[in-house]
Amino acid sequence: MPEQPKQVGGGRRAVGDIAPKLAELTDDVLFADVWNRGELAARDRSLVTVAALVAGGDAEQLRFHLGRARENGLTETELIEAITHLAFYAGWPKAMTAITVAKQVFAG
């Protein structure tokens, strides 16, 4: 697998003041370890993550991960298509929420 940029979390910056252990786990385990394993490309991890967040209805986390997905090589067209596809597996309301979040993220 080709070399890819190291994935870095922002847990300490986002919630370190109120939840230092959660911030530590986010940065040191989720991003420093799991996101940087070589068995999947960052692009693939982003697609899986976006799909899981859409399926779970996690709009706020989706906002961050749509941006991360673009940084990791997914196009807006691919992300919109993934959300459209998920409407039939995750549920229409979740897809509509996700596409609204995507519209905001892609516009700004």
Pair 53, 70 in one domain: yes
- pLDDT at residue 1 greater than cutoff 70: no
Pair 46, 70 in one domain: yes
| Residue-range definition of the domain harbouring residue 7 | 1-39
- For residue 105, give the H/E element and its range: helix 92-107
Pair 34, 81 in one domain: no
Pair 11, 34 in one domain: yes
**Average pLDDT for 68-95:** 97
The sign of the CA dihedral 18, 6, 44, 30 is negative
The full DSSP string for 12-67 is HHHHTTT-HHHHHHIIIIIITTGGG-TTS-HHHHHHHHHHHHHHHT-HHHHHHHHH
How would you class 60 by CB atoms within 10 Å of its CB: exposed for 0-12, middle for 13-18, buried for 19 or more? exposed
Domain count, the chain: 2
- pLDDT at residue 34 greater than cutoff 80: yes
Task: Assign 80 a pLDDT band (cuts: 50, 70, 90).
Answer: very high
Pair 19, 67 in one domain: no
Query: Residue 9: its pLDDT value, please?
Result: 78
Identify residue 102 by its one-letter amino acid code.
A
**Average pLDDT for 67-87:** 97
Q: Give the predicted TM-score (pTM) of the model.
A: 0.88
Pair 97, 58 in one domain: yes
Pair 45, 35 in one domain: no
Pair 63, 33 in one domain: no
